[in-house]
Amino acid sequence: MNTNEYLIHTALKPDTTLAEIEKICNEAIQYNFKTVCVPPLFVKKATDIVKEKGIKVATVIGFPFGYSAIEAKVAETVLAILDGADELNVVINICAVKNNDWQYLAGELNNLMPIVKSKNKSISITIESGLLSDDEIIKCCDLYGIAGVDNLCTSTGFTFVNATVENVLLIRKHLADKIGIIANGDIKNNTFANQLINAGASRIGCNGTEIVTDTV
């Protein structure tokens, strides 16, 4: 299987440099990756590099822990769209999940969805599945599936448990078919990437070219 078309090339470390952004953008062009995902600071630069190549630019909102205020996430979203982002990847408030505050999470989404959709952009929701119980994951699938987000993302890559085949299978079982699944976090070889795709992932987040070089 050619995994390149599934890949989101990411550079989201807290010490990411402009040189690293230029590197992943050029690698995305070289290997025909679908998307690059960069910190908000670098959205304009990434857009300048890849916009003529048919590669989308994604950025993160409320990253990495998700507990910033709704108003802050709204502001981040507006600014990212103004800078040229095609896709907004929003980390949900995990504290709200753990306290069973689904009303808060619905309100958070209701503030963000109209902004994103009014500009014909895509919204992905990161649920940090490695920190959640199966029941919490299923409730997230229900909430965000009904809302009609574009993708549900397994993880930020910043916790001790990232994408797993088991969690992708669970999400795919309970999430509406039209909504994609982004598997993300510590995916470094083609074998694991293919396992996640076969489990139901429609896109794979990676922060290196190991997946590509593993196939050649």
Residue 211 above 80 pLDDT? Answer: no
Full-model pTM: 0.94
Angle at 147 between CA 38 and CA 134, to 5 degrees: 80
Q: In the predicted model, what is the mean pLDDT of the chain?
A: 94
Instruction: Tell me what the mean pLDDT of segment 54-63 comes to.
Output: 97
Residue with tokens 């196939």: 215
DSSP secondary structure code for residue 133 in this structure: -
Residue 66 gets the label, from left (phi > 0), alpha (psi -120 to 50) or beta, of left
Tokens for 120, please give them.
């014909």
Superfamily of domain 4-213: Aldolase class I (3.20.20.70)
- Pairing status of strand 7-10 against strand 35-38: parallel
**CA separation for the pair 146, 104 (Å, rounded):** 16
Q: Which residues contact 22 (CB under 8 A, 6 or more apart)?
A: 45, 49
- List, for residues 90-112, the tens digit of each pLDDT value: 999 999 999 999 999 999 999 99
Q: Which of 39-53, 68-82, 142-156, 200-214 has the lowest mean pLDDT?
A: 200-214
pLDDT band, very low/low/confident/very high, at 216 (cuts 50, 70, 90): very low
- List, for residues 109-165, the tens digit of each pLDDT value: 999 999 999 999 999 999 999 999 999 999 999 999 999 999 999 999 998 888 999
Instruction: Tell me what the mean pLDDT of segment 159-177 comes to.
Output: 94
